[in-house]
Amino acid sequence: MASSSHNLGIAAFALLSFLPVTALAADSGARWLDIEFPRDSPVLPVTSNLGLTTARVQGASMVLDLHASLLLRNTGTKSISGLTLRVEAQDITPSGKGSVTLPSLRIDPGEVFPVRIDMELSRPFNAAGAGGAIVQVSLDCALFSDLSSYGPDQLQSRRALIVYELEARRDRTFLAALLESGKLAELREELNFGLQDLTPQQLGLELLHAPNPDRARRQSLAVGAVAFPSSPVKALGGAAQVDGSEVRSPEVELRNTSRKTVRTVDMGWIVRDERGRQYVAGSVPANLDLQPVQTGKMTESGTLRFSHLTGQPMSIDALLAFVKDVEFADGKLWIPTRVDIEQATDDPILRRALANSPEEQRLSEIYRHKGMSGLSNELRKGN
Question: Does position 27 have pLDDT exceeding 70, yes or no?
Answer: no
Q: What is the spatial distance between Cα 291 and Cα 232, in angstroms, rounded to a whole number?
A: 12
So what's the pLDDT on residue 122? 83
So what's the pLDDT on residue 261? 97
Per-residue pLDDT tens over the stretch 223-280: 999 889 999 999 999 998 888 888 888 899 999 999 999 999 999 888 888 888 888 8
pLDDT: which is higher, 207 or 257: 257
Per-residue pLDDT tens over the stretch 102-137: 999 999 999 999 999 999 888 776 654 445 788 899
pTM for the predicted model, two decimal places: 0.83
80-88 and 135-144 strand pairing = antiparallel
Q: What is the spatial distance between Cα 94 and Cα 83, in angstroms, rounded to a whole number?
A: 21
Q: How many CA atoms lie within 13 A of 15 on its CB side?
A: 6
So what's the pLDDT on residue 241? 87
Give the C-alpha distances (Å, rounded to integers) separating 254 from 89, 183, 220, 265, 325: 40, 38, 20, 9, 13
Question: Does position 97 have pLDDT exceeding 50, yes or no?
Answer: yes
- Ordered by start, the domain boundaries in the chain are 17-155, 163-193+359-381, 201-355
Closest CA to 269 of 293, 245, 292, 289: 245
pLDDT: which is higher, 151 or 3: 151
Residue 86: Cβ-neighbour burial (10 angstroms; 0-12, 13-18, 19+): buried
Cβ count within 10 A of residue 331: 11
Closest CA to 146 of 78, 74, 73: 78
Provide mean pLDDT across the span 140-146: 97
Q: Which fold has domain 17-155?
A: Immunoglobulin-like (2.60.40)
